[in-house]
Amino acid sequence: MALPTPNSSPFGITTGSDGDPWFTEFVNNQIGRITPSGTITEFPVPTPSSNPSGIAAGPDGNVWFTEQGADNIDRLKLSSP
């Protein structure tokens, strides 16, 4: 399945608390989600040039990911605390 942003270099993938696959886009600094119908949504990572790579669904219902280029761990909030 082609991603909306060319040359994204998808890297890690996990199943989110919503049941959808979530993935990192290493080169374009984004996190993506694919719905069962095939709709792809991309979310920019706020840290510039962070190169998101590893990704996991957390027990808090959010998606956590590593920012390899920024030496950081961050999350995309999917649920309220």
* Residue 41: how many other CB atoms lie within 10 Å: 13
pLDDT tens sequence across 6-51: 999 999 999 999 999 999 999 999 999 999 999 999 999 999 999 9
Confidence (pTM)? 0.91
Q: Compute the chain's Rg from CA coordinates.
A: 12
In sequence order, which residues have a C-beta less than 8 Å from that of residue 31 and are 6 or more positions away?
22, 23, 24, 25, 42, 43, 45, 52, 55, 63, 65, 76
State residue 78's pLDDT score. Answer: 81
Domains parsed from the chain with CATH numbers = 10-76 (2.40.10.500)
Check whether 79 has a pLDDT greater than 70: no
pLDDT tens sequence across 46-75: 999 999 999 999 999 999 999 999 999 999
Give the integer Cα–Cα distance in Å for 77 and 81. 9
State residue 1's pLDDT score. Answer: 84
Sign for the CA dihedral angle at 80, 20, 58, 2 comes to negative
